[in-house]
Chain A
Amino acid sequence: MIKRRHVEEAFFKTLMILSLMLVAGSLGFILLTVIIKGLPALNLAMLTQTPKGGYYLGKEGGILNAIIGSIYLALGGTLLALIFSLPLALYLQAYARRTGWADSVRLALDVLWGIPSIVYGAFGFTLMLALGMRASLLGGIITLAILELPIMTRAMDEVIRMIPHEMEQAAFAVGATRLETALKVVTRQMLPGLLTAILLAFGRGIGDAASVLFTAGYTDRIPTSLFRPVASLPLAVFFQLGTPFPEVQQRAYASALILTVIVLVISLGSRWLASRLSRYTIR
């Protein structure tokens, strides 16, 4: 005899599996769309040339300016964020631990994490106006660093939390100070997670468009100084899509494919690196 509750069980289980397929399917759908649309327009010139005259009308050239620009921006932003976030994360775990102050700092970081990147862009813009700066590589780097800071710090914070407490106690027991423990024991032990956190923030930075829209500007040249404007891949996609020419829109799809590949390589690479490096930590 089939009971109602078994029917219910089967019904909801089916729904769950369908939802799971829906979520996994959307990832496949997105990747497939970008590949199918982007691959035909992708060629070597896209990757190795900067836009020539009339590029945005469908003439010769590529988006090397945006690829290099994005790497500059994300690299600079990530390094700047790292300078602040590593000491901050070490402080949260080694010094403040479970105090009320550490809790408030974590809350502030979580709140910062939730602030939309367009707001960071607008803030960066007002900051630059106040300082008399124009849209430039430096402006973009600073804005991205602010955007990445909470992501990186919270990720590191979680990594350090996973380190067995006994290890620090052992360091204290042989007479190490908190600083020495943090620098010589904790940082080594957290290395795999540290890399994951950095790459996570880097991936976020390279894909973000709204924050660099105001602050980094856009140019067809590869910047030679921190004070020049700089192109970026997400904006290259956006601007090329905005033109009325099908050839240029095709290139937008190809640019989207390049961006997606970069981000996916970073995402998968960080996972692989972390698993390789975790062999060298003490468990």
Chain B
Amino acid sequence: MGENKTAKPVGFRQIRLKILGRRETDRLASRLLLLLSMIPLILIVVILAALFLRSWPIIQARTIWDLLSGQVWKPGQGLFGFYPFIMGTVWVTVVAMVLAVPPCLLVAIYLVEYAHTPLKTAMKPLLDLLASIPSVVYGVWGLVAIVPWVQSTLAPFLSRWLGFIPLFHSNNPTGFSVISGSIVLAVMVAPFIIAVTYEVMHTVPDGLRHASLAMGATRWQTVRYAVLPQTIPGIAAGIVMGASRALGETMAVLMVVGNVAKSPSSIFDPAYPLPALIANNYGEMLSIPMYDSALLGAALVLLLMVLFFNVVSTLTLRQILRRSG
């Protein structure tokens, strides 16, 4: 009986050791984890397959070309043209990138090449905060700050002085427009582009900078002639990645962009991007024939656009960041 007192209660660990040796456990875990690691790939395939299957009825009924180039969206009459929505997405995204890229590059250059450590450490949480703000909050900001400003100040001003250029011509009395969506998006993707550019610029060896500075170049000349040429592919990849984020942004854009199903021709025209189309109509999509199929088709088109940009930029960036170790 004295033996029983000193023997520890048989716990989980002992039982496991009796059934499986440590090495067998390790090997078993390895197999299970290998299975688990297939989930991400399977998920991508399943998402693509599900959206494709659900949009198959409309692809069959209309042909892909008809859908992509169709100008009219009247679900009640069975007309499903994606063209205005695709153009809406492209306009909002391109204008957002035009607004976001120059300041973001300058900020990244400043942080890498000029800033002292305290500023660098202060900027990191600031950018994290900017990135963590939910998109609905960006939408509220756009709605109460940007849209009225565009309506009362920006649109009249630019339209008056640059109105002869079609791009700046305004005949939209409200502020709900491409430019409002783009301004909001530009702020949303800024932390992202800055972070990627920052990382890419850090891959340039310091020796290169020192050599350039030692030759008497100014800091800007060093950036311009020694650092930037090395990093152009990486920065380009970062921009494309930022653009693919912007493509899919839904709520913030939906709230400020006007949602008129017509391809815009000026930055002050309203637009109706693909994500907004999907989000706005999910409620009634089961009541009209083919409607759900068309909306999931829109999701598929959006997904394919995003995947294309995303895969290309991720692969490019990966190669660049790996080269530097």
Contact = CB atoms under 8 A, between A and B. Distances in A.
B144 A119 contact: no
B183 to A, nearest CB: 9
Contact of B295 (A15, A122, A210): A122
A87 B36 contact: yes
A3 B221 CA distance: 13
Contact of B136 (A91, A114, A126, A234): A234
B47 interface: yes
A56 to B, nearest CB: 16
Interface string A188-223: 000000000000000110111110011000000000
B103 to A, nearest CB: 4
Interface in B251-295: 251, 255, 275, 278-279, 282, 295
B64 to A, nearest CB: 18
A208 to B, nearest CB: 7
B314 A122 contact: no
B43 A112 contact: yes
B279 A118 contact: yes
B299 A122 contact: yes
Given A23-B194, A84-B39, A118-B250, A110 B137 contact: no
A267 B132 CA distance: 7
B86 interface: no
Contacts of B40: 88, 105, 108-109, 112, 149-150, 153
Given A20-B107, A108-B44, A6 B136 contact: no
A107 B318 contact: yes
Interface in A167-197: 177-180
A101 interface: yes
B80 to A, nearest CB: 16
Contacts of B41: 104-105, 108
Nearest to A91: B33
A24 to B, nearest CB: 6
A55 interface: no
Interface in A229-283: 234, 237-238, 241, 252-253, 256, 259-260, 263-264, 266-268, 271
Contacts of B251: 209-210, 234, 238
B73 interface: no
A39 B250 CA distance: 26
A45 interface: no
Most buried by A among B127, B138, B275, B295: B275
Contacts of A92: 37
Contacts of A120: 47
Contact of A19 (B23, B110, B220): B110
A44 interface: no
Given A88-B36, A177-B25, A267-B128, A126 B140 contact: no
Interface stretch (A29-37, A46-54, A57-65): A29-37
Q: State the main secondary structure of chain A at its contact with B.
A: helix
A263 B133 contact: yes
Interface size class of chain B, counting residues whose CB lies under 8 Å from the partner chain:
35 or more
Interface string B80-107: 0000000000000000000000111011
A16 B141 CA distance: 25
B108 to A, nearest CB: 9
Given A19-B106, A107-B314, A214-B282, A114 B133 contact: no
A282 B3 CA distance: 40
Q: State the main secondary structure of chain B at its contact with A.
A: helix
A12 B275 CA distance: 37
Contacts of B137: 30, 34, 207, 237, 256, 259-260, 263
B187 A30 contact: yes
A227 interface: no
Contact of B307 (A6, A105, A111, A264): A111
A260 B106 contact: no
Contacts of B54: 126
Interface stretch (B154-162, B164-172, B240-248): B240-248
A178 B110 contact: no
Interface in B37-70: 37, 39-41, 43-44, 47, 50-51, 54
Given A33-B145, A91-B37, A26 B187 contact: yes
Contacts of A238: 136, 139, 251, 255
Contacts of B211: none
A166 interface: no
29 contacts: A5-B220, A6-B218, A9-B218, A13-B114, A19-B106, A20-B106, A26-B187, A30-B137, A88-B39, A91-B34, A95-B34, A96-B37, A107-B315, A110-B310, A111-B311, A114-B314, A116-B248, A117-B250, A118-B275, A118-B278, A122-B278, A122-B299, A123-B299, A127-B50, A238-B136, A241-B255, A253-B140, A256-B136, A263-B132
Given A114-B244, A121-B278, A260-B133, 10 more contacts: A26-B190, A29-B141, A33-B145, A118-B250, A118-B302, A204-B132, A207-B137, A237-B139, A238-B136, A241-B140
